[in-house]
Every structure is written in structure tokens, then in C-alpha cells.
Structure 1
């Protein structure tokens, strides 16, 4: 069996090296039953890790014709959202790159198992590769994870068949040991644990067996709900200044996105659409006016898959505010009315 760990500039070093060590030890202790390689989609022979900008040698590109397992680590970077090397910038860049498509191909190939470590699943979820699948990511990313169409599960390791994920800074050890246990054998996994003087943390969550009774549902997080205003929503008149077309700029982590928003009255409510280039119009939901405050929700498919909540202020012919998805930092939104 062959594990290929896919690296990218800014990958978290521990997310990749911890599983690499586990698989290398399992290979030694099993007499060569599981091999591991470091690969990349980038055209280079070294990939720069984070933190510390440590260069790591790679053996070429991923090869799904050879690989039995494809492992995607998370990213590491500055927590300041505006920084060039911010964690969010790296995650968004990779989510809009080739990793999600590679993951989709791995999941469609019989006999191939996709493994993600910590924020690696968030990258793939934002790229639309994990729709409807059970998975976990780093705890700070779980609300945003729910907004990508994934079914988030609060567990150390989540085994969803051909998709195995883990959440936590050191969880790469646990998920790699689980892979060894499941596919090579529990005695080899135990031998690696003994060699490393490490014991796996937490029960592995699987979508099987009876449902727990007598306890509230705790395994998943709901999508972030739009805020409820306390009795001050308005039913706008047909000549309300919001109605019309707005040219907006959304300052996202992967650059400025130009979007047109169209608002119109609809009975006692408001309808809206987002228009971007040649893409099909996207209907807005939960459009609410409260004084000068205008809010709405929008499902975004490109360049990243997210459910966004907009919160803006209307001032004459300008709309200014922010868009947010889960725990991800806010993105500035600004725009003007156009004819």
C-alpha cells in the first residue's frame, strides 16, 4: 500500500511529518506493507512549510494510479487576516486551487482512501470536495466548516469510509495510527504506539451503530444562523432606497470580487439576486431591513463554497459593511447604486 502526502507552500509541518513518521514506522514494523511519499501539485522539488519556512523535498506529483491513500494536511500562518502569509489566505488559495479536484478524483476511485489532517478538510470543504460527507477540522474552523456543505462531527478522528479526517494540532498522529490499525492491522498500530511511547486520543467516530439515547445531539454543528432582530424589522415601501441594482466589491481573502446585487419588493418582503460575470444568478435569502441596516444571506459556489451572511449600512447611494461565514474573519463589502 502507498500513502502520498500532498504538500503545498504554507502547509503545517506537523500535519504532514507526524503521519509520515507513523507510516514509516509501520512500514518498518510490518515488513514493508505500507509505503509513504511526499508529493505536490506544484512544479518544484521542494515545498516551503510553515511555520519557519522550512523547505521539504518532494518526489513529484500525486499519482492516483499508484496511491492507495491521499493525505492532505492543513495550513499554518499568521492569524492576522490582512497579512500576506495569513492562515486564511493560504486556506483560501488552496481551496481555489487544484487540491479539491484531486480529492474528488481520489474519492471517485475505487480502492483509494482520502485522509485529511486538521485544516486540510476545511480546504477541501471550501473547495466543494466534501459535500454531504461526515468530517472534522480544527475546532476554530468548525462553524465555517458547516457552511461548506460538510456534516461536521466533533470528534478527534472521523471515519466516513473512504474519507478519514481528524481535528487538532497533534491529530495527525491519531489519524495515521487509525489508518494503520484499519488497513495494516491493530498489532502493527500497537507496535508503532509502543515505539513512539504514544497512545491514541479519543474514540473514532463512525456513521454506524445505534444512536445515543438520553443525550442531546452533540456530534455536529448547525449552520450559522442569521441574527434575529428584536421586533424592529421593516416592511419597506416600494420606493425604498434599497431597491435597484448595486455594484459591490467583496474584499475576500483571495482578492476583490466584483458582484452586482439586485433588490426588489415582493409582497410584504424583499427579493434579491447576486450576479457575477457569466455565472448563473444566485438568489439571496433572509433579506432584512432595520433602519439603515440591510442584511441578507447568500450561498456562494465560486471561487469558494461558503454560506455568507452580509451585514451592511445603507447611506444614500452607498452600501458598506461586511460578509462573514462561520468563524472566518469578516470580509469588507462596499458598493454604490448603479442605473
Structure 2
């Protein structure tokens, strides 16, 4: 029997979850006793508030990461702009902080489980560090951010990377589910469901097979290819620039006001005659600056962080005496304000 577990979490998008649920239930009508569908959470059976006016759906069990079949993760519904607690990144981060990330990580190493996502569901996995180096798609608004997590963004309706199948925008849940029905149960069952729904799938499913086009439709953002070593950048700094960049020398206590709360970071910056070196310490992590560059009295660099989520961040700061101000940015997320003070 093919078992489908559709994961719910507080703030999930209704259509992301219910459209695939209905597709799988329709398929079950054509394959007696060969397919079962269950709504689950990381915590177990409970009432789950969706992100659409708080409409509640009952989950009947706990996600089992060892059960053969398909696990489908929807995205979130919330504020598309802004950085408040009801913004989509904040909702996804709260879901990521539950046991869900660990359960999906466990499922991804099983040979007989397919993990599927719809819309921002791939971002939830990516923010937990589960998609690094893997082709995937998400809602078009989040493609840059997907790349910033280390995943490989592919502009396709559905992306099939073996045991990982991801879908794009909200309505792609229909396409993801119908594709999985065809892949696991055959084209005749998928066609029967399409006939019932009077719906035909959109687009070609992208797979990493066959001939490669001369211009691949794979979007690899600058952030997704950050080289973290070496931690220096030879700039050929002119004498006048040395005086200006030396203002950044020293140790700094910095605070980044992110949508997920304030992030405290200790920065150490050293400017030589031909290079800039820097590290950032957050918690127990020490991260070297990647590609530090001084332009127009501003110092910019990139960092690959793992907490509170895996992200590639780009920084741009300036100093006035012992005061540092600037921004940190990941993909299409709003820029986060950075402030800091020199401590030595």
C-alpha cells in the first residue's frame, strides 16, 4: 500500500495541503486498498490552525519518518511583505523550530520514502539545511532566498530530484500530487483523476537526466555560491583607501534586527596593505568573511550562517568613529538593520 502523510503546522497554507489531499483521495478511489492518506503533525493528533483566517483542520496522527511512501510538506500563508510575526518567513521558522526538521531529515535518508513539497514547503526544508546542493523550486517570490540557503533554484513547475519532489506556486500542489500519482501508480490512474477534476497538469517536470541545454534554466544566485575559503580578498588597495578602510579595524559587538528576532554577532576586522580579513562569531560558530570588498566608504562581505537557519547573508556597513551601521540581506527577504559598537 502507498501511504501518503501530509504534514500540517500552525500557519500552513490551506490550498498547499488540501489540493494534494483531494488528488490522493481521488486516486484512492481507483486503486482499492492500495493507497491511504493521512493528515499529520510533528507533535501528533491535534487541531491545526491554517494561515487562512485561522481555519482549523484536524490532524489524526504524528508524522512517521520511517513509514514507506510519500511525505508532503505544504508552505505557509501569511504576510508576503514585512518582517512581523505573521510574515511567511517567521511562520516557516516557527515550524522549523519544532521536531519537524529532524523528522524530515530522518525521512530523507530512507530509501523507500519520497519527500514532496508545495510552494513554500521547500523553503521550510531549506531553512533547516535539508536542501543544500539539491535542485528545487518554490514560490517565485522566494527563489532568491532558496538560493541563499544553498539549494539550487530551478525555474520549473515541478522539480524531481529522486526522493525529493518540489512544486512552485500555490496551485502547483495539484501538479505535484498528480505527478506523484503517475510516478507511483501509473499514468492511467493519474489520467483518471485529471478527468475527474477537469484539470491538466502544467509544464514539464524537471529532472536531472538527459541532454543538458546550452543555457540551463537553473538559477544559481550569487549568494548560493559563496566561497567561504579563503577568508581574505586581495583588493590592490591604494594608499588613500588604506586610511579609509583602517577605520573598520578592530572588534565590534553588532546586533542584526531580523524578522526572527535580534541576532547578536561579534565581528573582528583586520585591514592590511593588500587584503581585508574578517570573522563573525555567533554563539559557538566562528565564520570567516567571504569576498570582503571596500567600495565607496562601505565594507561589504558575505557569510554562510547555520543559525537560526541556514542562510547566505550579504552585509554592507559603514563606520563613524566607534559606531557601525549597515544592513544584512538574504535573497528577497527585507534588509535587516545592523548596528554595532567598537569594543577594541
Report the TM-score, using the length of structure 2 for normalisation: 0.91
Matched, 1:258 2:259: no
Moved more, 170-179 or 232-241: 232-241
What does 1:183-332 correspond to in 2, within 5 Å?
183-213=184-214, 216-224=215-223, 235-237=241-243, 240-279=246-285, 281-332=286-337
2:232 aligns with none
For residue 264 of structure 2, give the secondary structure of its aligned residue in structure 1. strand
1:109 aligns with 110
Q: CA deviation at 1:81?
A: 2.1
Residues 51 and 76 in structure 1, CA contact (< 8 A), matched pair in contact too: yes
Alpha-carbon distance in structure 2 between the residues aligned to 1:15 and 1:332:
32
2:5 aligns with 4
Deviations 1:44-66 (A, max 9, x none): 61110012110110012101233
Alpha-carbon distance in structure 2 between the residues aligned to 1:144 and 1:238:
33
Alpha-carbon distance in structure 1 between the residues aligned to 2:296 and 2:120:
39
Alpha-carbon distance in structure 1 between the residues aligned to 2:158 and 2:217:
15
Residues 245 and 294 in structure 2, CA contact (< 8 A), matched pair in contact too: no
User: 1:324–1:30: structure 2 CA closer, same or farther, 3 Å change rule?
Assistant: same
User: 1:101–1:266: structure 2 CA closer, same or farther, 3 Å change rule?
Assistant: farther
Residues 274 and 284 in structure 1, CA contact (< 8 A), matched pair in contact too: yes
Deviations 1:187-224 (A, max 9, x none): 010000000110000011111011124xx232333334
Q: Which runs of 5+ in 1 are unaligned?
A: none
Q: Which runs of 5+ in 2 are unaligned?
A: 227-235
For residue 50 of structure 2, give the secondary structure of its aligned residue in structure 1. strand
Moved more, 321-330 or 58-67: 58-67
Deviations 1:119-162 (A, max 9, x none): 10011111101121111111111111111111111100111110
1:63 aligns with 64
Alpha-carbon distance in structure 1 between the residues aligned to 2:80 and 2:147:
21
User: 1:337–1:142: structure 2 CA closer, same or farther, 3 Å change rule?
Assistant: same
Q: CA deviation at 1:43?
A: 5.7
Alpha-carbon distance in structure 2 between the residues aligned to 1:22 and 1:121:
20
Alpha-carbon distance in structure 2 between the residues aligned to 1:288 and 1:70:
44
Q: CA deviation at 1:239?
A: 8.1
- The count of residues paired between Structure 1 and Structure 2 equals 332
2:126 aligns with 125
Alpha-carbon distance in structure 2 between the residues aligned to 1:320 and 1:17:
45
User: 1:43–1:245: structure 2 CA closer, same or farther, 3 Å change rule?
Assistant: farther
Alpha-carbon distance in structure 1 between the residues aligned to 2:222 and 2:32:
46
Residues 244 and 297 in structure 2, CA contact (< 8 A), matched pair in contact too: no
Alpha-carbon distance in structure 2 between the residues aligned to 1:285 and 1:74:
31
User: 1:161–1:210: structure 2 CA closer, same or farther, 3 Å change rule?
Assistant: same
What does 1:80-91 correspond to in 2, within 5 Å?
80-91=81-92
Report the TM-score, using the length of structure 1 for normalisation: 0.92
Deviations 1:310-331 (A, max 9, x none): 1122111111121101111111
2:162 aligns with 161
Residues 247 and 261 in structure 1, CA contact (< 8 A), matched pair in contact too: yes
For residue 162 of structure 2, give the secondary structure of its aligned residue in structure 1. coil
Alpha-carbon distance in structure 2 between the residues aligned to 1:290 and 1:238:
10
For residue 248 of structure 2, give the secondary structure of its aligned residue in structure 1. coil
CA RMSD of aligned residues (A): 2.1
Residues 245 and 297 in structure 2, CA contact (< 8 A), matched pair in contact too: no
